[in-house]
Chain A
Amino acid sequence: MSYVCLTDDDIALISCGGTDFIDNRGAPLQDERMTRVKYFGPLMELTGTDEEQLEIAFPITVAKLRVTLEHYHPALAGESFRIAVDAVMRDSDTTLSAAGEIACLPAFAGG
């Protein structure tokens, strides 16, 4: 597992890791401290991943979460995307006390 520690006051990302939490049967194990962050569409390319585990300091507003993610993935800066928490779209001024899954969603393009 790799850890990245950021100390900037504006940044709420404590650490990050891959999905190499393995239980004794070899199955992936979710670390309770970690939040699953998913990237969709072109954001997958900009971040280089479709999913990662990050340790985020809650409580946090969606706006600050965005700044945090942009700090960790500079390629996200300036990109237009919305943030859904546990499959519900959230406004930037919403304060999150916890999150099981964060989804970063650029403009939809189905059909």
Chain B
Amino acid sequence: MSIFVDGGVDIQLVANAVAELNRDRRVGGQNLFVGQVRADAHPEGVVTGIEFTAHKEMADAAVSAFLKRIVGHDHVEPAESAAASLSDTPDENPDGPLPRVFIRHGLGHVPVGGAPLFIAVGTERRDEAFRICREILEALKSEAPIYGKELLDSDGHKWKVNQ
């Protein structure tokens, strides 16, 4: 499935992912990363939001490739439905392969304070949860053709550069 959503990532999706992992009796650790648009002050103006664009086909293919390398599969979990989070019954036969991975990236306008990126990883133990989440984050930044135009309060803009 595609990692892309219109606008910022809905924080309800974060809750859904946590709830979904809560129901997976194989999981002993969750690690979550939420990227947030920061009000950077540039000489040209202060950032009010970021307009994200991407080569979606290539970015989704890049995600598939780096997930196979990092976690041994390329299954990105769905979490758009709140139905799963409403059940507190442990799932005896969870569908997703371990480590379980949620990734979403926003496209279009994301205002300051909004979340253009969400990664959640569910693993058996904590060390791999931290490591895998970090590796996915760095791979996404370096391998997926995604671009951000920082919109400034001066009505100008500045192209985002990853540090």
Chain A residues 53-111 with CB under 8 Å of chain B are 84, 87, 103, 105-111
B141 touches A108 (CB 8 A): yes
Q: Is A41 an interface residue (CB 8 A)?
A: yes
Q: Which residues from chain A contact B140 at a C-beta distance below 8 Å?
A: 110-111
Q: How far is the CA of A38 from the CA of B57 in the complex (A)?
A: 13
Q: Which of B10-54 contact A (CB under 8 A)?
A: 35, 52-54
Q: Residue A18 at the B interface, CB < 8 A?
A: no
Is A110 in contact with B58, judged by CB distance below 8 angstroms? no
Q: Which residues of B contact A (CB under 8 A)?
A: 35, 52-55, 57-59, 61, 105, 116-117, 137, 140-149, 159-162
Please report the C-alpha to C-alpha distance between residue A75 and residue B26 in the assembled complex, in whole angstroms.
54
The residue on A at minimum CB distance from B159 is A42
Residues of A with C-beta under 8 A to B59: 110
Cα(A42)–Cα(B147), bound, Å: 9
Q: A108 and B159 in contact (CB under 8 A), knowing A38-B55, A40-B55, A40-B147?
A: no
Interface band, chain A? 10 to 19
Contact B141 A107 (CB under 8 A): no
Q: Bound complex: CA of A31 vs CA of B40, how far in Å?
A: 45
Contact present for B147 and A111 (CB under 8 Å): no
Residues of B within 8 A of A40 (CB): 53-55, 145, 147
CB pair A109 B54 closer than 8 Å? no
Proximity string of chain A (30-47) to chain B, C-beta cutoff 8 Å, 1 when within and 0 when not: 000000001011100000
Query: Inside 8 A of B148's CB, which chain A residues have their CB?
Result: 109-110
Q: Does B52 contact A41, Cβ atoms closer than 8 Å?
A: no
Q: A14 CA to B148 CA in the complex, in Å?
A: 33
**A42 to chain B: which residues have CB within 8 Å?**
147, 159
B58 touches which of A41, A103, A106, A107 (Cβ 8 Å) = A103
